[in-house]
A and B are shown apart, each in its own frame.
Chain A
Amino acid sequence: MGSDGLKWWIGRVAPRSAWADAGLLANDKDIGRKVNEPEIDIYYNRVKVQVVGYHDQIANPRDLPWAHILATPMLPSGYGYKDHTHYLEGGESVFGFWLDGEDEQKPVIMGVFYRHKKSDDESPPLGSSASTSTNANNDPPESKPTGATAGTNVGTSDPIKEQRYISNRKFNIVTGQWEGEVKTRSNITNETSTGKGVSSAADSHHLFLKRKTNRPTCRRDNAISEITGILGDFAEILITAQQYANFYVNGAIGVLGNLQSEIDLIAKSIAKIMTGLFNSIRDQIFIEVGTRMQTFINSILPEEIKPIFGQSTKEIMDTIFCIFENLIGSLLKTITDFLLTLVGKFVNAPICAAEQFVGALLSKLASDMSSAISPILETLSNTLGGALGKVNEIIGKALDIVGIVFKFIGCDELKCPLPSRWDNSFGPTQGERDSAQRMFSAISILNIPTGFDENGKPKQTLGGFLQEAEGNTSSIFGEPTDEEKQTAAYISGLVGGCDSQLLRCGPPKIEIFGGDGIGGFANAVVSNLGEVIGADVIERGFGYSPTKPPYVTFRDACGNGSGARGRAVIGDDGGIDRIIIDYGGYGYLNNFGEIKTIYGTIPGDVNSETANSDSKTVTGQIDIVEVFDPGFGYNPGDTLEVGNGAELTPIIIGGRILGVEVNKGGTGFTSIPEITINSETGVGANLSPVLKFTDVGQDSLPPAETVIVVNCVGK
């Protein structure tokens, strides 16, 4: 056999149910079903096959011949080592030869033709195991909502787009016909779901990794900073959450009913912070009352009754302590009610919004507190002939100087850095210390329109908000009225202030902070493929240290892009020389356009056009080349190629590339280029070019060699 050549064939593996029960696979889903029956032979190396031109008329796949599978000697094959199995599922197009030559009865499979992951032909489904029909998904089609109009994104009211188009039809192996409708399919590692080449399993994985953490401060004066971040997380969840009838689904991971648990956790996080704030307020009230009473005792009371008076005072203070404990004990419910009221009413959480949020919470809680302890303090004050003064003054003063109590125990001597936050997807951000003045003055509550005036403009009233916060959640997730929809254009026209109702989607904003310096500003240079390829330093700043460079963070307001990381290189004069992009990320926009509002996403507006007009056309040149890995085995004669007129010379010492000299930076780079190393002996070097950008006229270079950089500083 084979001495005069092999006879080849092309065919298709029969549906799984035609051979799986007689050829049990070692790592198969059927394992354990029949493995204990001794009369059953286990063939982990054969399947049934339908050879084109030979078995076309065989209707029942069980009548097809067995085909052996020729394995690679690079894998275990049962000789002295663990058996290895194939991964054929049924339906694959395969290629092989006839082991018995001209008799053509014993097919052998040599290889399988690859099937594109998105192909949707009429082949029998993978993974089929039923005897009469199969279901590729094994999910009841009715269990998942489908269709482009089946739901809405909670945060923006946008209709949910169909994300997956995978055949879920049933194949009847008896009739050889496909049955059923096209349905969607649950997460699986080998299918794409986002159109970005990312599997839905990876989408879930990325979402799970999206964690943040705050650094507490010793003053406990980071409430606003922390709550800003937490409200931002809340807005993010709302934007991705999807509503199907009465169900809410986390858009990325497809978990039903998770929204309430997310809200509970967020409410708990805020309640933790507010508990700390309330503790401070309570302490401050005790200090204030104590000071006034001491003055009274000192100036009026006879010595002999001071102990008795002191004991009575303690009992009153114990009562007030308990009242606070009860108020603190009800924080979680109050905050949960607040959050539920906010659902569908904000997509953005700037600091001012968090200040208003905390201000509103404190207003409400202070009102509760005042009504609970005022009668007690007033009685005490009256007893003392007005010695305590006005109770409202005490409460007001306590609110005003929240956090100051820590100074009494020497907090100033402790390390107490500014609040900061770490986001696993883009790194650290700097917070601000609380401003009690701003916190208490900004209680117009997130600019939420609780109604509309006669001119169609949103009215912003605290009273309306508080009324809703009392538990009126009927409007949650409600469809906006026609009147409200008409205000989307109005909302999109808002600039500055405390815009909690819209998010402008544009290029990532570079934040430079830390490192003792100040004043550094830069714009991100985003390629047309959505990757950050560099930074255009607008202001170098001063006072930075080369050994302690500032942090560089890329913030994308809408979360379109993610992942970009960079670091600043500081010159001898303390200014920023350049920003090196360690990872360009993906999905970023290079101009302003889309606007997300609580009423839905709108394509753009005059303000976006104005912002885009503040831009310049640049071209990339190689500034320096970083050596990530010097490799080994390189010779002095080895050369580097990168194209676009750039000329680079490797600095090779001891067979390793320790540096690269940039003779000519070239021009026209619009993405980070790859450097080719011409060497016959060297391996392993990893070189990463860093681009600098030169301002060029709009028409001086072909568009393919330029990038538009929109100025984002201060926007």
Chain B
Amino acid sequence: MPNAGKGDFDIDNRRNFRFEGGQNSPYGKVSYRVLTNLGSGHGWYQVGKSEDHQMVATGRSVEALGENLQKSKTDTQDPVNPAKLISAKHGDIVLEALDGDIILIGDNILMYANGIRDTGDGDIQMYANKGINVHATDIKIRGTNLRLMGIKDLSLIGKVYGEFTGGVINAVASSDFGASTLLGKLTSIVKSLGAF
């Protein structure tokens, strides 16, 4: 039984909502919460030294921010001035839409993966069940190593001008592998070096 032997809980009933504190719940001991008759509400729940914030809106949750916030920006100066800051000292930040889209819109969208090698961090990974579409005026992909692979097809098209430049250019159909004794040997050497 929740609250058995615990007399130190608060309840303030109103007709349409209710304040609570001190009760047990599946999410920790209620420090404070407000509930509506339909189960919406929010509150803080104590687990050890921490207090979790839990919020339910059976419909939408809308935050309208920054109505009177000053944001001065030029081409060279754009000091950070958040209208909304979500900063987690520890732990992950997860955004999940089970039956909807996640849409990010802004003047600029920046992503940094600042992890360190000790914990294997530092990756930006994107996976899509259908497709990834990148469309911009100027697209630059630069890496120490750059690999492109089409499981089925690969097309690289320069409508006006195309250029491939490399220290050594090796353009060959896979079906020709082994046709040339020299190329076969070179491929074996490269494979043994672990480049692929």
Contact = CB atoms under 8 A, between A and B. Distances in A.
A294 B175 contact: yes
A671 B175 contact: no
A220 B1 CA distance: 42
A406 to B, nearest CB: 9
B47 A583 contact: yes
A79 interface: no
Interface string B135-171: 0000000000001010111000000000000000000
Interface residues of B, number: 58
Given A206-B26, A583-B48, A265 B98 contact: yes
A301 B176 CA distance: 11
Given A197-B23, A201-B36, A209-B27, A298 B175 contact: yes
A196 B49 CA distance: 25
Contacts of A81: none
Interface stretch (B2-10, B70-78, B79-87, B103-111): B2-10
Contacts of A487: none
A627 B98 CA distance: 40
A189 B7 CA distance: 19
Q: How large is the interface on A (under 10, 10 to 19, 20 to 34, 35 or more residues)?
A: 35 or more
B39 A425 contact: no
A628 B1 contact: no
B47 A582 contact: yes
Given A196-B2, A209-B27, A201 B175 contact: no
Contacts of B67: none
Contacts of B37: 187-189, 201
A201 B35 contact: yes
B3 A197 contact: yes
Interface in A268-309: 268-269, 272, 275-276, 279, 283, 286-287, 290, 293-295, 297-298, 301, 306
- The interface residues of chain A, by DSSP majority, are classed as mixed
A253 B2 contact: no
A286 B151 CA distance: 7
A461 to B, nearest CB: 33
B3 A529 contact: no
B132 to A, nearest CB: 13
A583 B127 contact: no
A201 B14 CA distance: 13
A414 B125 contact: yes
B54 interface: yes
B182 to A, nearest CB: 15
Interface string A410-426: 10001100000010111
Contact of A408 (B41, B98, B149): B149
A210 B27 CA distance: 9
B5 A409 contact: no
A276 to B, nearest CB: 6
Contacts of A188: 37
A127 B15 contact: yes
A365 interface: no
Contacts of B41: 205
Contact of B18 (A190, A208, A275): A190
A425 B36 contact: no
Given A265-B98, A565-B28, A205 B4 contact: no
Given A197-B3, A199-B18, A586-B24, A187 B39 contact: yes
Contact of A197 (B2, B16, B28, B175): B2
A477 interface: no
A546 interface: no
B35 A563 contact: no
Interface in B17-70: 17-18, 20, 23-29, 35-41, 46-50, 54, 56, 58
A218 interface: yes
A200 to B, nearest CB: 9
A204 B25 CA distance: 12
B114 to A, nearest CB: 13
A291 to B, nearest CB: 8
A682 interface: no
B178 A216 contact: no
B133 interface: no
A195 B47 CA distance: 24
Given A409-B147, A414-B125, A202 B56 contact: no
Nearest to A89: B15
B72 to A, nearest CB: 38
A206 B23 contact: no
Interface string B170-181: 000111111100
Nearest to A209: B54
A420 B16 CA distance: 39
A440 interface: no
Contact of A216 (B35, B98, B127, B147): B127
A213 interface: yes
A454 to B, nearest CB: 46
Nearest to A566: B48
A426 B27 CA distance: 8
A626 B15 CA distance: 40
A620 interface: no
B101 interface: no
Nearest to A220: B127
Contact of A201 (B5, B38, B120): B38
A286 B2 CA distance: 58
Contacts of B174: 290, 294
B149 A409 contact: yes
Interface string A197-234: 11101111111111001001010100000000000000
Contacts of A187: 37-39
Interface string A607-642: 000000000000000000010100000000000000
Given A198-B23, A265-B99, A628-B49, A207 B39 contact: yes
A269 B25 contact: no
A269 B98 contact: yes
Contacts of B173: 294, 306
B188 interface: no
Interface string A584-621: 01110000000000000000000000000000000000
A298 B24 contact: no
A409 B38 CA distance: 50
Nearest to A671: B5
Contacts of B147: 409-410
The winner among B48, B127, B153, B173 for most chain A CB atoms within 10 A is B48
24 contacts: A188-B37, A189-B17, A198-B2, A202-B39, A203-B39, A204-B39, A205-B56, A269-B98, A286-B152, A287-B151, A290-B174, A293-B175, A294-B173, A298-B179, A408-B149, A410-B147, A424-B54, A426-B26, A563-B26, A565-B28, A586-B2, A586-B24, A626-B49, A671-B5
Given A197-B1, A201-B38, 8 more contacts: A188-B37, A199-B35, A201-B18, A206-B25, A253-B39, A415-B121, A585-B26, A626-B49
Q: What are the 8 A-B residue pairs with the smallest beta carbon separation, nearest first? A: A204-B39, A582-B48, A189-B18, A562-B26, A297-B175, A190-B13, A294-B175, A425-B26
